[in-house]
Amino acid sequence: MTNAIAQIAAVLATALFIFALHWMNDPKTARHGVIAGVVGMIVAVLATWIQPEIVHHGAILLAIVAGFVVGVPLSLVPLTAVPQRTALSHAFGGLAAGLVGAAEYFLSIGTNPASLTPFRMSALVAEVILGFLTFTGSLMAAGKLQEVKWIPQRPVTYPGQNFVNIGVLVGAVVLGVVLVREPTAAWASNAFAVIIALALLFGVLLIIPIGGADMPTVISILNSYAGLSAVAMGFVLNNKLLVTAGALDGSSGLILSIIMCRAMNRSFTNVLFGAFGQVKAVKASGEQKTWKQETVEGAAQLLEQASRVVIIPGYGMAVAQAQHKVRELYDALTKRGITVKFAIHPVAGRMPGHMNVLLAEADIPYTALVEMDEINPEMPQCDVALVLGANDVVNPAARYAKETPIYGMPIIDADKAKTVLAVKRSKNPGFAGIDNELYVKDNTWMLFGDAKAVLADLVKQFSAGGLH
Amino acid sequence: MTEPLLAVQAAAPEHANVDYWSMLFVFVLSTFIGLGVVRRVSRLLHTPLMSLTNAISAIAVVGSLVVAGADYPVVIRVLGGVALFASMTNIVSGFMITDRMLKMFKKR
């Protein structure tokens, strides 16, 4: 009886999870997706809980309550902290998979060694390697995003780094293969522990050379790994629901990774083993061409005379928490009949979709948020492109400068607008260490300062009556 | 058919008989369904998508429940309990923050 319930629950939960993702195809239906997901999850948990072999209900309740105690505050973080929250949740997902895998192995070897068939043992090894590397890797990523002091923000590289990293992973996999062949040898438990240690180490080593601009890709890849570790758990436990739900997560992470990689014109291996940040400033301060600075008054006038304005936000907007000021500017401009759109580059920010969430938080209608591929053909008709804390994603050097790491990366064609206004915090080059020639173009005017402060001044110009 | 579905510790012959090929089959099919569905997800919603799939993959909760709640040695149950806590955290914070973000997407 309980078995039949579990089977039905698994089918139901899988269907609900698929619907949950399906409804995400439109912001109008997306919230149904959350409900479907919650219902699916409750069904799955209850159907498992009523199984007769579960006897320690107190411990379960305790763990669930603890999950709520930590989970609720984690869901209330400011939206600028969403990338690190996401990384942290990948870490939790990896940890759960890794721990269950370890528990299963030590349980099986103690009570039922015959159950360690080659297939199940392979799944166990995959589960703990994926789980534990996702755990430490995601923790590192979350630490970098949160700017924790003892985790270096800048990519850390050293000679032979890729050799060491791949060596650690290969070591874990080779040991795993040996274990699959002899899962019950006297040294097997120790070997299993070493695999766990190597996976933990590999997660750390993998993220050390990664810099901020690569985070969207890395978070997506870790997302995929977290899903795959759940799949491996499903194989180990002979549970199809784990396999389906894990596969949905894994494929979602895969698609996001592909989108992110395309948006940077790079491959997975290049992101993970390319150590982007190592590139030194290609011609920093070499060129004598200088930018032209604009006053806030002048910028306000430029904006007021425009009929089409495109705002291009980047990580700088998130850092300055400027999204609400952006909204005020948006209101001031649209009230004057000016068309304002936002051009969203896929890798703007620190995770996929980061800019959209921040702008939506500020109550900017999502119909004004336009993808790169859709906005680029319109850029020549744009009167003013306002670049807001974005840098590499608008650097025209990506089109032709083969020696730069951003070469080939699709960019938002800000330079094709009639006038460019660029708000920039400092005069330093961007993440990739490349001068941005957009800033020195004839039709570009710079506004130096914190994005939030500059926008506040701009908005004041519109409201103070200096402009009608 | 009285053996539990989540046959963690079920008898040896059962594990030997598990139909791994149908499991692989399920995996491949659900991956393709996932790819098909996720490809259509609005690009606006990629951040909530990630937190939603994160909550969904916390389905690891069902594995953790068994390890934490069955009559196993204490060490094993502690591992399961920590895993259960981690999964629960993801479920709660994942669904809640997804909904919080989605609420903000308005057409005006």
Angle at A302 between CA A299 and CA A306, to 5 degrees: 140
Contacts of A82 in chain B (CB under 8 A): 47, 51, 97, 101
Each residue of A105-146: pLDDT tens digit?
999 998 888 889 999 999 999 999 999 999 999 999 999 999
- Do A146 and A167 lie in a common domain? yes
| CB-based contacts of A452, cutoff 8 Å, min separation 6 | A320, A321, A322, A325
**Most A CBs within 10 Å: which of B62, B103, B106, as the mutation test of the A interface?**
B62
**Whether A392 is catalytic:** yes
Same domain, A218 and A261: yes
Give the model confidence (pLDDT) of A226-258 as tens digits: 999 999 999 999 999 999 999 999 999 999 999
> pLDDT tens for residues A383-430?
999 999 888 899 998 898 888 778 889 999 999 999 999 998 877 655
Size of interface A-B (CB pairs under 8 A): 424
- Collect all residues of chain B within an 8 Å Cβ-Cβ radius of residue A40: 56
Is A289 part of a structural domain of the chain?
no
Closest among A21, A3, A416 to A252, alpha carbons compared: A21
Per the CB < 8 Å rule, is B99 touching A31?
yes
Beta strands across the sheet bearing A369-371: A369-371, A339-344, A308-313, A384-388, A419-424, A444-448
CA-based nearest residue in chain A for residue B14:
A115
Question: What ipTM does this complex have?
Answer: 0.91
Coil, helix or strand at residue A269: helix
| A95 and A23, same domain (yes or no) | no
List beta partners, residue A311. A342, A386
Top pLDDT among A149 and A411 is at: A411
On whether residue A272 sits in a domain, the answer given is: yes
Same structural domain, A89 and A171: yes
Q: Is residue A153 part of a domain?
A: yes
Residue B108 pLDDT:
72
Among A379, A374, A377, A404, which residue's Cα sits nearest to residue A392? A404
Quick one: pLDDT band at residue A73, thresholds 50, 70, 90?
very high
Paired with A339 in beta bridges are A308
Cα separation, A169 vs A129, in Å, equals: 9
pLDDT in tens, A262-316: 898 888 777 777 654 444 444 444 455 677 888 889 999 999 999 999 999 998 8
Closest CA–CA distance from residue A34 to any residue of chain B (Å) = 6
> Could you give the 3-state DSSP secondary structure of residue A305?
helix
Shortest Cα–Cα distance, B17 to chain A (Å): 10
Q: Tell me whether residues A233 and B52 touch, CB distance under 8 A.
A: no
**Calpha distance A239→A222 (Å, rounded):** 23
Looking at per-residue pLDDT, the higher value among A341 and A292 belongs to A341
Which chain A residue is nearest to residue B92, measuring alpha carbons? A71
User: What is the torsional sign of CA B16, B21, B22, B25?
Assistant: positive
Contact A140, A207 (CB under 8 A): yes
Report chain A residues whose CB lies below 8 A from the CB of B39.
Answer: 255
Residues of B in contact with A62 (CB under 8 A): 81
**DSSP state at residue A371:** E
Cβ contacts (< 8 Å) between A363 and chain B: which residues? 104, 106, 108
Residue A231 shares a structural domain with residue A258: yes
Domain limit, last residue, from A41, A75, A109: A75
Same domain, A118 and A58: no
d(CA B6, CA B68): 13
- DSSP output for B21-63: HHHHHHHHHHHHHHHHHHHTS-GGGHHHHHHHHHHHHTTHHHH
Averaged pLDDT, A136-159 = 88
**CB spacing of A24 vs B4 below 8 angstroms:** no
Q: For an interface test with A, give the residue of B50, B75, B101 to mutate (most A CBs within 10 A).
A: B50
Tally of structural domains, chain A: 3
Task: Give tens-digit pLDDT for B1-46.
Answer: 444 444 444 444 445 566 888 999 999 999 999 999 999 999 999 9
The reply to whether A326 and A423 lie within a common domain is yes
Residue A259 tokens read as 């989108």
Do residues A340 and A389 share a domain? yes
| Co-location of A51 and A162 in the same domain | no
Pair A116, A229 in one domain:
yes
**Stronger pLDDT, A468 or B71, i.e. the higher one:** B71
What pLDDT was estimated at residue A75? 95
Residues spanned by the domain of A309: 296-463
Judge if A270 and A183 occupy the same domain.
Answer: yes
Whole-model pTM: value is 0.90
